[in-house]
Structure 1
Amino acid sequence: NVRAETEYGKSNRISSVRINFIQRRLKFDYICYYLRPEQVISLIFSDDNMSDQVIVFQRYFLYFKYQFINLRCIKFIRTDDILFDLPYSVSALTFQGCMYVSQRIVETIVKQAKSLTYLKVDCIHLLQSIDITFPSLTYLHICDVGMKIFCCFLKENESSFNDYHLSIKNLRSPIQHLKLSIENKNFIDYNSIFNFDYLSHCLTNLTLICLINKTFSFEFIQHYLIQLLNLKSLTIIIKLDLIDGKQWEEFIRKTKIIKFNFQFILSESITFTQNKSILLDSFRSVFWLKEKYWYVACNKHRSNQNTQIYVYSIPKFLPTCINYTKDYYPPLSTVPSNDEQRIFYSKYIEHLCLDFNKSIDDLPRNYRFSHVNSLNLIGSTLPSIDNIMSIVDLNQIKELDISHIKNISIGEIHLLLEHIPNLNHLIFKNFIPLFKPPSHIYSFTIEKWKLSDDLNLFCRMFPHVKSLKIYINSLEMMIELINRLKYLESILVWYNFEKHVPFISMNWLRRNIPRL
């Protein structure tokens, strides 16, 4: 099995090709061969790691509908095909990024109408052609990507948001959990966005992400939300004309809401001259800090030439990608000092960047990031291990980027790696001759490859690599890497492929790479 993907960049005509090899297919075959269908309750298909998963799966299970008698949930994530005739037991369906089988998705949803309790789709247009009751559907998620796709199906004519509500209303379902993301700029009837009165008897959890360039007032939002009599959980992202914690406190007291998360964006048309801490004063009342223990943070966000004020609940909307020496972290907040380690430093951080070219004297030494996945170190030289460990727990790091350390020796790299036992992905700027990585690190990125670099030496020093991202200077180099690195499962190469596009194909790859 081979999957090749091509991505073209806008600068220097550089593009990338990604290839996944037979090992992923072997693992998939192994699972299918030993799988006991009657024991399976959930299936997830994704073509991201292996192409045609659904088709291969169907070859193993010709009578899928009658074999998986206890199946409850199926997710299709960016697949080119879907399973069409599903067991009656399936009550939860997710379709994410399956753009080429939209009609089959609609037909599948309709077939499961009686048993469906959970539905996640990319696009509201998938529901517009459905005219059947879903008596058990309690969870509906129309995700953010879907609205972008939906915009492509709309004509240039402006559309009313009432049509959006009508599609949900026509399902005639007792929806309790509703999650919507609104990005379509063609809507003209913004006044009906919050009008969920047709769900007032059943809706308990509402997540509304409103990403349009429209500023709303608190009074407008309150008018509609107060009608949702059974609402217990509210998550909202929206642009407001005014942010006042006292108003939201009074509103919450009138409702049954026990969970409230928000990200309020103060309109850029408003000149904010007060100190940001004053903006948070209305969120420091007994209600926020003692009754609910709901903490709020505030920062500025620059977008193009505009500067916007963000006020958001934490930890829900805390960033997971942090440039520690550039961003103001932790942000100004209402969190008590004795709770800062838990809220700001013990939470999961996807990516942490430490720039040692800048002063770090002001960083609070009594706090430390304890759960970081990816660490990027920047500086003219590698800082001391003790210095790094005083900021971040290296035991949790899975990915390390040292491509921005200008001067680093092989000994320094090995010393650093000894303190990162769970590392599996290492990022270099250039190939470092004579550096032999530890065997437990199997994934690498090399951003630049010089003409003087020795490919033979690389293959000898990195024989166990399973995943590789690398800049190449010829197609011959790509072929040699693939043929010589026998454990390689996935490779992403950057190269100017434009002049080779007419003859590069899957057949060409198979002719030149015997292992495919």
Structure 2
Amino acid sequence: MCRLKYLRLILSKPLTTDNNILNGMQWKSFLSTSFIFLKTFNFKFSIQQTSEQDIYDLLNTFKSKWWLKKKRWFVEYDAHQNVLITVPYFASKTFNNHHSYSFGFIQNLEIFYSNINYLNIDLHKYNEFEQILSVSQSVVQPRFPHVTRLSLNGYLTTHVYDKIQNNIDLSMIKHFEFSSTINTTETLIELINNMINLSSIHIQYLHSLDLFIEPLSPNHSIRHLVLFDYEPTTRKQLFYHICRLFPRLTHLTIDYHSREEFCYLLNELAYLEQFTLRLTKDQDAPNYGWIKQYSRLQMNAFELRIFNMTHKGRQLVLWINTTNNMEVHRHRQHHKFKMCSVQ
């Protein structure tokens, strides 16, 4: 008799639905006699294309009291991968409303929702997402209690915001991505303010200046900022407010415009560890010697590399040794950097 306590099985070769490996009753008979010490059993079995009725029949073999009450092992069908899985171990951690979800196959909605840590919502397809939220009214709110990364694309209305606030624990969000060409600043600010543990923001938003000009107090918890597709004529004001609002940034990614603005951001953001610039194919990027001469990095070791990006121009990445950053920051007022002011 085997004294095995933990068992995990992954079969990538698709099985036909009449295979005993996919039968919960067969597993119960086998495990309850040969593996009586087994505490944890997780599996992922690929299935050949079959009918919905066959899937329901398979899932029903895993619904006995032995599976659900005694062992508390839960089995689901993942339609995207066409696999039979135990949850939450093999359950998906991402949710994207571009995909269609067969909620009729899901045996335990709370396990499904609670396992999601990345939520990607295309607001152009919001109706589909709202239908998903109305699948079961009995699910404990918020439906998504463990989402740490939230991505929204499109027009953020107050109705959508209310739904998000009611169904997602916003205090868990650490990484937020947003892209839109429509002005939705007021609602967006309210959403961000409720993400009290946010540390990373990725914004592709034409009206970014409106977003950053309103908050009065610096936010010391934001360490990563990616900013694209803002109105070009506002960038000097925008860069000023970025430095004012996020003085503890360690990672910044933006489009490259000029050496003057590059130098301004580099000198003002004393905690930067990585500065990434998106370049067009024809832009002349600052070189190592120029940066050493005209920026605060006279006093820091740094590394500079330029990467060719497929169909997207080039990318300049600056890695900074931050050992002396605080020393530089304290004495910066005594050191005049030429060519680096933003009017």
What is the TM-score of this pair, normalised by structure 2? 0.67
Cα offset, 1:399, TM superposition: 1.9
Matching residue within 133, 137, 149 for 1:363: 133
2:153 is matched with 378
Q: Answer whether contact 1:449 1:471 (CA < 8 A) is retained.
A: no
Equivalent residues in 2 for 1:60-99 (5 A)?
A: none
What residue in structure 1 maps to residue 51 of structure 2? 273
Note the C-alpha offset of 1:351: 1.1
C-alpha distance in structure 2 between counterparts of 1:390 and 1:449, whole Å: 30
Cα distance in 1 for partners of 2:97, 2:49 equals 28
Q: In the alignment, does 2:254 pair up with 1:471?
A: yes
Per the alignment, residue 433 of structure 1 pairs with 209
1:232 Cα shift? 1.3
TM-score by length of 1: 0.47
The AA in structure 2 aligned to 1:284 is: K
The one-letter code matched in structure 1 to 2:58 is L
- Displacement of 1:465 in angstroms is 4.7
Query: 1:406 and 1:474 mapped to 2: Cα distance?
Result: 21
**Which residue of structure 1 aligns with residue 3 of structure 2?**
230
User: 1:321 Cα shift?
Assistant: 1.4
Query: In structure 1, how many angstroms separate the alpha carbons of the residues matched to 2:103 and 2:158?
Result: 22
Distance in 2 (alpha carbons) for counterparts of 1:366 and 1:334: 14
Number of the residue aligned with 2:86:
313
Match of residue 195 from structure 2: 420
Q: Give the letter for the 1:281 counterpart.
A: N
Match of 1:399, as an amino acid? H
Task: Read off the aligned partner of 2:56 and give its amino acid letter.
Answer: S
The percentage of aligned residue pairs carrying the same residue is 24
State the Cα deviation string for residues 74-109 of structure 1 (Å, max 9, x = none).
xxxxxxxxxxxxxxxxxxxxxxxxxxxxxxxxxxxx
**Tell me, which stretches of 5 or more residues in structure 2 are unaligned?**
301-343
Q: Find the partner of 1:300 among 76, 79, 89.
A: 79
Which of 388, 399, 403 is 2:164 aligned to?
388
Quote the offset at 1:372 in angstroms. Answer: 1.3
Per the alignment, residue 121 of structure 2 pairs with 354
Amino acid at match of 2:112: F
Contact 1:394 1:419 in 2 (8 A): yes
Question: SS at 2:233's partner residue?
Answer: coil
What is the CA-CA distance between 1:357 and the residue it aligns to?
2.5
Give matches, 1:132-171, under 5 Å.
Answer: none
SS in 2 for 1:466: coil
Amino acid at match of 1:445: V
Q: Structure 1 residues 247 and 486 mapped into 2: Cα distance closer, same or farther (>3 Å)?
A: same
Matched residue SS, 1:471: strand
How far apart in 2 are the matches of 1:231 and 1:310?
Answer: 25
**Structure 1 pair 344–457 and aligned structure 2 pair: CA distance change class (3 A):** closer
- Give the aligned residue type for 2:296: P
Residues 351 and 473 of structure 1: CA distance in aligned 2, closer, same or farther (over 3 Å): same
| Residue 289 of structure 1: aligned partner | 68
Contact 1:352 1:372 survives alignment (8 Å): yes
Flag the 1:394–1:262 CA change in 2: closer, same or farther, 3 A.
same
How far off is 1:366 after superposition? 4.5
Count of equivalent residues: 271
Is the 1:295–1:333 Cα contact (8 Å) retained in structure 2?
Answer: no
Give the drift of 1:451: 4.3
Matched with 1:514 is 296
2:17 equivalent to 1:247: no
Asked whether the 8 Å contact 1:375–1:397 carries over to 2, the reply is yes
Q: Report the counterpart of residue 322 of structure 1 in structure 2.
A: 95
Q: Which amino acid in structure 1 is aligned with residue 256 of structure 2? A: N
CA 496–249 in structure 1, closer or farther in 2 if over 3 Å, else same: farther
- Separation in 2, partners of 1:457, 1:324: 32
Contact 1:444–1:465 (CA under 8 A) maintained in structure 2:
no
8 Å Cα contact 1:233-1:257 kept in structure 2 = yes
Counterpart of 2:95, as a letter, is I
What amino acid is the match of 1:467?
T
The separation in 2 between residues aligned to 1:370 and 1:274, in whole angstroms, is 30
CA displacement at 1:271 relative to structure 2: 4.0
Specify the code of the residue in structure 1 equivalent to 2:272.
Answer: L
Structure with the higher fraction of residues in helix conformation: 2
CA displacement at 1:387 relative to structure 2: 1.9
Match of 1:223 in 2: none
Q: Could you tell me whether the CA contact under 8 Å between 2:252 and 2:272 is conserved in 1?
A: no
State how far apart, in whole Å, the 2-side matches of 1:500 and 1:295 are. 58
2:240 aligns to what SS in structure 1?
helix
Q: Give unpaired runs (5+ residues) of structure 1.
A: 1-225, 302-307
Offset at residue 486 of structure 1 (A): 2.8
CA distance in 2, matches of 1:361, 1:333: 15
Change (3 A) 1:417 1:252: same
Are residues 371 and 465 of structure 1, via their aligned partners in 2, closer, same or farther at CA, if it must alter by over 3 Å? same
**1:136 maps to what in 2?**
none
1:295 positional shift: 0.5
1:483 aligns with 2:259: no
Cα distance per residue 1:242-294 (max 9 Å; x no partner): 4222332233221232210111112xxx4413422222122122321222111
**Structure 1 residues 452 and 233: CA distance shift in structure 2, 3 A:** same
Aligned residue identity for 1:478:
F
Does the CA contact (< 8 Å) of 2:155 and 2:182 recur in 1?
yes
